[in-house]
Amino acid sequence: MPQINRIAIITGGAQGIGKSITKAFLEKGWTAVIADTDREAGEETAREFDTLGTITFIQTDVSEEKQVERLVEKTILLFGRIDALINNAGISINKPLTTLTIEEWNRVLGTNLTGIFLCAKHSCSHLQRVGGCIINIASTRAFMSEACTEAYSASKGGVVALTHALAVSLGSGIRVNCISPGWIETGLWKKKSRRITPALSAEDHLQHPAGRVGTPEDISSLVLYLVSTEASFLTGSNLIADGGMTRKMMYS
């Protein structure tokens, strides 16, 4: 029998963790649709990975419902199906509480949380037809914080809660899971104009019980597992990938 050409939409798929996820899907024979606000990064990634498989960039702001509708409609027009939705798009604005504006708060929540709601809303009927998956990328900031991260932390806590709500609402037809990364070094996965070689110290690595800072590949490998048949009994789950940092007591 001919192999089914499976289609994945990866939001924020042009840089960082999202770029690694895009590459991982292509290497497994999937078609990748990357949705990103950054046209420069999106077009650059599409060119860079063109030899790996079928990849399409659709410029999209996931906080805008009409743009999400267009993303899904264009994907269906081009490829006829959606097998996986990877909600990775995220931004942060870290400022003191008293200077954080309501516009900045809403911008972070709109991208990081509302964007997941909108993408799930408009793709769920297509995912249902093929028994597809939704994977949401949250953060360990959902469970622990540094100062001045109210908007980001609140949005990522919402992602974890939205994940289990979607899993229950969408039932057995669509599995919905979540990954909460810790410190993931993404400098080499940025677009060329922003790419940097990380300068990580021995202390940076050794403060992690696992002995190292995380890489984007640590997250993309988990995404591939969660969309596979081996994870067919997992839904509504949140997998923490942080080298053990949220389990480490730290006293000064």
Distance CA 208, CA 232 (A): 30
Burial of 179 (0-12, 13-18, 19+ CB in 10 A): buried
Residues taking part in catalysis: 152
pLDDT at 249: 84
**Spatial contact of 188 and 175, defined as CB atoms under 8 Å apart:** no
pTM: 0.96
50 within some domain: yes
Number of domains comprising the chain: 1
Q: What CATH number did the domain enclosing 233 receive?
A: 3.40.50.720
pLDDT at 12: 98
Flag whether pLDDT at 1 surpasses 50.
Answer: no
1 within some domain: no
pLDDT at 57: 98
Q: Whole-number mean pLDDT of the chain?
A: 96
Residue 149 belongs to domain spanning: 7-247
68 within some domain: yes
Q: What is the pLDDT of residues 73-122, one digit of tens each?
A: 999 999 999 999 999 999 999 999 999 999 999 999 999 999 999 999 99
Q: What is the pLDDT of residues 189-216, one digit of tens each?
A: 999 999 989 889 999 999 999 999 999 9
2 within some domain: no
Using a pLDDT cut of 90, give the percent of the chain over it.
Answer: 94
252 within some domain: no
Distance CA 123, CA 85 (A): 8
179 within some domain: yes
Distance CA 216, CA 24 (A): 10
Higher pLDDT, 252 or 223: 223
100 within some domain: yes
132 within some domain: yes
